[in-house]
Amino acid sequence: MTLDLTPYRAARGMVPRMFRCMYRQQSRTRACPDLPRLDGKTILVTGGTAGVGEFISHGALARGAKVISMSRGVSEGTGGLAEVQEIRCDLSDLSSVREAVDELNDQKIDILICNAGVALREHKMAANNIEMTYAINVLGHHLLYRLLTKRGLFGDAPRIVMTTGDAYVAAKECEANPAKFSMPQVYGGSKLGNLWQAFGLSKRFPEIHATAVHPGAIMSGLGGQQPTGLALWLLKRMAINEEQGAQASLIAATQDLPSGAYWHNVCGMMELPERDAGLDVKKAAALWDQLEAFCADYL
């Protein structure tokens, strides 16, 4: 089985992009090939024992990898991950991220999958006086991969997979402290930040193979509330399950995608249109500088 890597020209605007994302995605989500295997590789997955992360871990183990999960430990998976090394890590707390990296005890990481994330319906602040969505989805992951680079904990030809999503088209900014809280704007902004992170990594660290992935619209309860009635009926017919949602990250971890690529669960290799927010070089650079400033005392 080989993947078609022909670039797909992404639609402009939120409505056409969301329609393309959701339309028949249950039957069109691309599965990761069984080869190549990952024997001898160590994969670090944030949130790797529950939700989509659990199935990323299952897929990596099935391909022969050693798997380490960093998570807060507040979610329960379906089991069968006894081989996974678990390290407690609260991505919203930069001190916790640094302590988690300390616990690696100089283990080399070949593939980092930045999978963990939240979509909060109410405004919450993190430990460092930063909005919680930004803190977990963006800032905590930035410190994680920067500590791994600074301490020389990546193996040869390392990969970083950033989980983003087409929700980013709802936003133009990725803000640490938005003046007005709106879940679509704040969550979308964090996904825009994740896209900028992947593109920034590929440029700033050419030795790292960095990609962004859209895992799909998933039945995972990410927003913290379970839909009911008509919303639940529609979701069951349009959303994919968590195992399907893991395929994009597994593809980015194992397949020959170009560094700096954006892989979509349905469309494959995405080619973003001109003036797309994801291609805003100035804002992406400003975000990187802001993240570096927040992390300075922890590096």
- pLDDT < 50 regions, the chain: 231
pLDDT for 103 equals 97
Determine, yes or no, domain membership for 299: no
pLDDT for 125 equals 95
Nearest to 199 by CA among 133, 283, 274: 283
pLDDT for 3 equals 86
pLDDT for 4 equals 87
Distances (CA, A) of 158 to 152, 173, 201, 210: 11, 29, 12, 9
Determine, yes or no, domain membership for 150: yes
Determine, yes or no, domain membership for 187: yes
pLDDT for 65 equals 98
Determine, yes or no, domain membership for 2: no
pLDDT for 24 equals 85
Determine, yes or no, domain membership for 205: yes
pLDDT for 227 equals 53
pLDDT for 70 equals 97
pLDDT for 266 equals 94
Determine, yes or no, domain membership for 260: yes
The sign of the CA dihedral 166, 171, 175, 179 is: negative
Determine, yes or no, domain membership for 123: yes
- Domains identified in the chain, total number: 1
CATH number of the structural domain spanning residue 45: 3.40.50.720
The sign of the CA dihedral 266, 254, 79, 134 is: negative
Structural domain boundaries enclosing 80: 8-294
pLDDT for 2 equals 78
Determine, yes or no, domain membership for 1: no
Whether a cis peptide bond, with omega within 30° of 0, leads into 36 is yes
pLDDT for 181 equals 94
Q: How far apart are CA 117 and CA 188, in angstroms?
A: 12
